[in-house]
Amino acid sequence: MVSFTIADYVQLLHNHIPGEWEDPQSASPVMRATRHLARGVEVGRASATRKVAAKKIIAYTYLRQLGWVVRDPGMEVLESALFL
């Protein structure tokens, strides 16, 4: 496994797993809901005040589940604070 910077998680996901991002309707005007579909199947969903943060959380969580990245304490904190 390789250690990545926070910005690399979304790029790694984009480069190696075909998929698309969707922005479903959010219940709150302040929060931005985002989800990622890989091969038509939802692999992650998150809400955050910024869409970029939600995408990073989704990418990191999915890549961790696959065992592609090592534990990142900074992302773990962000994930626990925002991941829904």
Return the pLDDT at 36: 95
Domain 6-82 belongs to what architecture? Answer: 2-Layer Sandwich (3.30)
H/E stretch holding 42: strand 41-48
Rounded CA-CA distance 56/49 in Å is 13
Return the pLDDT at 63: 93
Domain boundaries, the chain: 6-82
H/E stretch holding 80: helix 73-82
pLDDT digits 0-9 by tens, 9-61: 999 998 998 899 998 887 788 888 899 999 899 999 998 888 888 899 999 99
Stretch 68-77: mean pLDDT? 87
